[in-house]
Amino acid sequence: MNRFEFLRPTTIAEAVAAGARPGAAYHAAGTNLLDLMKGGVMRPGTLVDVGRLPGLDRIEHAADGGVRIGALVRNADLAHDPGFAARFPAVAEALLSGASAQLRNAATVGGNLLQRTRCGYFYDLASACNKRTPGAGCDARGGENRLHAVLGWSEACIATHPSDFCVPLAALDAVVEIIGRDGAREVPLADFHRLPGEAPERETVLAPGDLVVAVRLPAEAAGFAAHARYLKVRERTSYAFAVVSAAAALRLEDGRIAAARIALGGVALKPWRARAAEAALVGRAPAEAACREAAALALADAAPSGDNAFKIELARRIVARALLLAAAGTPGRLPALPASPFAALPGAQAHV
């Protein structure tokens, strides 16, 4: 690990000023950043510790049913918050399907949004990676790429975003609150992460010094609580990133779909919102045929980026299954293996 200056600001304004320095990086729990620093993938000259900034560790439930989540709220604390799990069950299920219990106890909401890809070529300093070194090339294009992107990828980068949490957030129209040198602003979560294009090193809309201070879910999102699920396929049952995942949420009226929300994970460098598939479901009965048609629409633009054509069909099936599970209703108790397609509800543990 290279030498760096360590700063611990006491206010958001001080943090933003320090974070705007060339080569600076924010540090909270460090569950991703410190690994990258130890491996030489990231070499910040200044580490700005924001983990003790006041007011960023609160879960604030609004009277209208929405919620504001401070960037320093721990993943486990959010998933086990009774009011949050009841109103946003798919988000709680996604959180509890990620990482390990120890990591969930440490990792923060803001850090989850900003975690870097787990592409092996990004982590390997001997490999060419445009994300790590712009213009170097992408060894993943001709390498081991069965787990790489099938949507939104470019010749410059075929990596995927690893977050589970961000997938239902994108589906439910979450908003990211940011404070930077030019003041405060808000960005829809669906627009927060960037697709690679010709500049894969630019992963988010954040400018130097920008600090994520909160994530907000609108009251409308709570209206999907009765029919919302997150489903994740991984290469082992736990402690693994998604091969593909899907968040599905429905609002049913008189046996028909009045509104639908769908997002996919593990298929692109950002959570992938399937708006055409959502629109196609409105007014229809939540039957298998409708769910399969919507799933096909969700993957209509997918294309293999290497030896990963199987992910397209797998993603179609996971979207369809997530929709059918959502239509059946959110279970009163979370499966003991959250988000797993192999989980059975008998013997489940509670959200709280």
Q: CA triplet 193, 197, 201: central angle to 5 degrees?
A: 60
Provide the b/e sequence for 196-206 (b: ≥16 CB within 10 Å).
beeebeebbeb
Q: Which residue has the tokens 């709570």?
A: 222
pLDDT value of position 345: 57
For residues 147-154, average pLDDT: 98
Domain with CATH 3.30.390.50 in the chain: 223-328
**Residues present in the chain in total:** 352
pLDDT value of position 237: 82
Residue type at 14 in one-letter notation: E
User: Check: CATH 3.90.1310.10 for 223-328?
Assistant: no
Provide the b/e sequence for 16-40 (b: ≥16 CB within 10 Å).
bbbbbbeebbbbbbbbbbeebbeee
Q: What is the pLDDT of residues 254-283, one digit of tens each?
A: 999 999 999 999 999 999 999 999 999 999
- The DSSP output letter for 288 is H
Q: Whole-angstrom Cα distance, residue 141 to residue 216?
A: 36
For residues 164-176, average pLDDT: 98
Torsion of CA 180, 68, 187, 99, to 10 degrees: 90
Nearest in space to 227 (alpha carbons), one of 327, 339, 350? 327
- The CATH fold assigned to 1-51 is 3.30.43
pLDDT value of position 333: 87
Domain with CATH 3.30.43.10 in the chain: 1-51
Which residues is 26 bridged to in the sheet? 48
